[in-house]
Amino acid sequence: MREILFITFLCSLNVFADIDFTIEKSFFQDHQIKYDAKELTYNSEYNESSYWFKTKYREFIIGNIVNCLENNCTTYHQRDLDEIYNESQNQFGEKDAQVYFSNVVAGLVISADDSLERQNILSEAKEYMNFNQKIYIGHILGHMMNNHYDHDRDPDGIVSQDEIYRAQRNGYDAGVCRDIAVAQATVLKDLGISETYILAYATAGDGHAMVIAQDPDNKDRIVSLNYGEVRINESPSAQGLSQDSSLADFGISYRIFNADGTPHDRLSTELGYVLNKVLGFDNNLSSPGSKFDGINFSSVDYTKGIFTATAFYSDNASGLNTLGAGVSLRRDTEHLTLNAGATGYHSRKSLKHREFHSQSIGIFGGIEAQLRTGKTDFGFLKNIYADTRLLVSGSMGKGDYSNEKLDENNEIDALDGDYFRSEHHMLASSLYAESNFANMTWRGIVTAHASIMKDDIRNESHHSLHYLGTTIKNQFNTPISDEYTLTLENTLYLKQNGSTMDFNAEVRSGDDLFSFQLGTSRPISGQTGYWTTGHEKETYFKLKANSRDNRFSLGLKIGKTESHGTTYRLESEFRF
């Protein structure tokens, strides 16, 4: 069992009620890398010359298999897969047989007449294949499809998977990243990798779409397929969406699609999450039900009336460092709250386990609005009201990245970058109600989340407002003695294709000097995506104590998850 220690320190300094100094810092032992992408590609490192030599050879072999099938040769045509599998085991030995059998399956997929035949082939083949082989097929097909990238593709319309495979057989160009990603994701889905999605994000110079998949037996093995490039991210949270590849992400938003190209979810990138904090935007609105880990944030805020100026620095566990300064304006009325602002920033990221370095300088801005109705009572329901919240934000700047070592000045030497722009928008509508039963108070909130996304990731011309999920929160408060109050809170996250939950019970002293909480989050049904709170089972315990003058607090959280074992988190807050 791995043990990870999280220590968070929060310090606020208030001078004349105008300046706040805040530090949130996490310290934890270095994460030991468990997985290697080379295991999934049966090859050397992606940017080594030997990798390309072996890949070209394998593409040649698969091409010969396709030609053989086209000519009805006896080697592969109309033979049972179990016969081919057993023959490969006897002839090549286990490891080489895995590559050989996977290449044959790839050839069969390319040669199939339609999607139904491909699905039948993959449905049978998955019984003979482990996770590594399944990713290998997605990897090698991605390489071959990228060889037929259509630079003249019309942005409108859909390039079908049948067309992608016909191009492979007949040697012409078809499809771009989003078309290829749908074809790759469909293969992995048909091979039984249920948590397979398509990720769209902003790169330096353009946007990009690629495939992400979670190992069902190792929840912390998150695989990214950028055409044939395979990378592993070992964070089963929102940070596990980060694309530290030869097409690095620089945006503030991830748009996530199902394997068939239909919308699934939308949330902020890690950079977007940090920039939202700077301007006071609600990350629960920006990334509903999403789990972010290891966010460290420091800021100095000067507030005068509706105006706030902020200088900030963020140093996160993922390796992302960001600093900058911004301004925001907040206005509250009885039925309307507006928060608008902009910030300049510089970000930098380096990975410890392999050569990847990126940096960007940009401007981020946005507006968050909340429109509320008046409150009313209806029978036993009290304080009923509704609201609609809208967040619209965007960023633009210059991004650079490199897969080479840093120079003697610890700077990025070999740069590959361009200008970028990114946008994010979320809409939420909530209904609130309260009620009293004897000595118990109940409060419920139901929130529906939506965003404007493509109807199909492959078609640039058709966008509409898509429902992304619902959050249902129920809270019960009741005194259990003259000195203590019990709070029970349950939150359901209902996503497109599944649901998760978080439940906790908290006992708090009446003078608010002491509280302890026991909780659990876990999946309920279907597939929600590994970035969703409760996607992975977790049990946690929280303890918190406050000083009588409310200037000092100390908290401890102990949690246990399936992939990361036991974790400890210490929180301390000082106010001067």
User: Do the bridges between strand 336-350 and strand 320-332 make them parallel or antiparallel, or are there none, so unpaired?
Assistant: antiparallel
Tokens read off for 103: 């290449």
Kindly calculate the radius of gyration of the chain based on its CA atoms and give it in whole angstroms.
26
Q: What is the pLDDT of residue 413?
A: 59
What is the pLDDT at residue 49?
87
Task: Determine how many CB atoms are found less than 10 A away from the CB of residue 449.
Answer: 26
| Nearest residue to 394 via CA among 431, 439, 424 | 424
pLDDT in tens, 270-290: 999 999 999 999 999 999 999
d(CA 576, CA 52): 60
15-48 pLDDT, tens per residue?
Answer: 444 677 676 766 554 456 788 889 999 999 888 8
95-125 pLDDT per residue, tens: 889 999 999 999 999 999 999 999 999 999 9
pLDDT in tens, 508-565: 998 888 999 999 999 999 999 999 999 999 999 999 888 877 767 777 888 888 777 7
Residue matched to tokens 């779409």: 209
pLDDT higher than threshold 80 for residue 7: no
Residue 352 has a pLDDT of 74
Task: Identify the pLDDT of residue 428.
Answer: 98
Per-residue pLDDT tens over the stretch 289-339: 999 887 888 888 899 999 999 999 998 888 899 999 999 999 999 999 999
Residue 412: predicted pLDDT: 59
Token pair of 169 as six digits: 């057989």
pLDDT tens digits, 336-395: 999 999 999 999 998 877 778 889 999 999 999 999 999 999 999 999 999 999 999 999
> Between the ranges 217-226, 245-254, 410-419, 447-456, where is the mean pLDDT highest?
447-456
Q: What is the DSSP secondary structure assignment for residue 459, as one 8-state letter?
A: -
Lowest-pLDDT range of 11-20, 183-192, 259-268, 431-440: 11-20
More confident call, 413 vs 2: 413
Residue 57 carries which side chain, given as an amino acid letter? Y
pLDDT, tens only, 141-192: 999 999 999 999 998 999 999 999 999 999 999 999 999 999 999 999 999 9
Q: What is the pLDDT of residues 69-103, one digit of tens each?
A: 888 887 777 788 888 899 888 888 888 899 999 99
Model confidence at 426, pLDDT cuts 50, 70, 90, reads: very high
Percent of the chain surpassing pLDDT 70: 91
Closest alpha carbon to 271 in 311, 323, 225: 323
The pLDDT, as a whole number, for residue 416 is 62
Mean pLDDT of 213-240: 91
**b/e per residue 377-409 (b: at least 16 CB within 10 A):** eeeeebebeebebebebbbbbebbbbbeeeeee
d(CA 70, CA 111): 7
Q: Is 20 exposed, middle or buried (0-12, 13-18, 19+ CB in 10 A)?
A: middle
What per-residue confidence (pLDDT) applies to 71?
A: 86
**Residue 261's pLDDT band (boundaries 50, 70, 90)?**
very high
Confidence at 237, pLDDT banded by 50, 70, 90: confident
Q: Measured between alpha carbons, how far is residue 106 from residues 121, 138, 184 in Å?
A: 10, 9, 11
Determine the pLDDT at residue 73. Answer: 81
Residue-wise pLDDT for 448-506, tens only, equals: 999 999 999 999 989 999 999 999 999 999 999 888 999 999 999 999 899 999 999 99
List the domains of the chain with CATH numbers. Answer: 37-192 (no CATH), 327-575 (2.40.160)
Q: Which residues pair with 400 in a beta bridge?
A: 359
- Is the pLDDT at 436 greater than 80, yes or no? yes
Burial of 32 per CB tally in 10 Å (0-12, 13-18, 19+): exposed
Residue 454 phi/psi, 5-degree rounding, is: -65, 145
| Burial category of 166 from C-beta neighbours within 10 Å (exposed 0-12, middle 13-18, buried 19 and up) | middle
What mean pLDDT value characterizes the chain?
A: 89
